[in-house]
Amino acid sequence: MISALLLDLDDTLIDTRAAMVTAGAVAAAQLWPEAGPELHHAAGVRFHGDPGGFFGRFTSGQLSFAEMREARVADLVEVFSLKAVDDLIERFEDAYDPAFLANVRLFDDALPLVEAATTAGLAIGLLTNSASHYTQQKLEITGLESVFAVVATRDTLGFGKPDPRAFHHACKLLGAAPNETLYIGDHIEIDAIAANAAGLYAVWLSRDPGDLAGARLAHAHGIPLVISLNDVLALLEVD
């Protein structure tokens, strides 16, 4: 029996990847116009992809949000051999933040799921590894600011996914047992496998049909896979 719905935000409800890639390219173009559009786009892709794992270190509490952001920008400078810029972080953020917020978009399947869960009388919560300030801005931009009974973020908790305490804390705030809480997220390990290990009913949202490795992991852990949030409606037993 499902009594609560717990959702990831970035790349589950909103297209964070597209917004980050665009904003990263905009910031790179403003700081290093001579580098050219191809490199600007590559910088945006790398900034989102975070191959250095700095966001994971923020999630685990090793870095503050500001330290994480600074490390990602420094990574761009090193990898793409970009010239030194005065007040680099401040100028990057001044260019990046408004571009990101201007490009935040809800996925088309987000509102139908939220509306169906509300109709079904489920408590709805949000569990994200992002910072509370940015999370609030995303919710306001997308019209979701009044949707969630609970919004749990990395900085308000002091730890984030995949730590089981993050899932248990959010369930407690929702007033639902983990095994009565349906959790949906787009990352196979940080979201789906971690939620499953924490005792929640985990579903993996895979918007990339080519992620065969992720599909194999989901199958190995007995985790249902959906390619759209519309597919979750049947799991909620609502029309």
Query: Cβ(223)–Cβ(203) under 8 Å?
Result: yes
> What pLDDT does residue 108 have?
96
Round to whole Å and give the CA distance between 129 and 50: 14
SS3 165: helix
What pTM, to 2 d.p., does this model score?
Answer: 0.91
> What pLDDT does residue 233 have?
83
> What pLDDT does residue 21 have?
98
SS3 144: coil
Round to whole Å and give the CA distance between 79 and 61: 25
Band of pLDDT at residue 237, cut at 50, 70 and 90: low
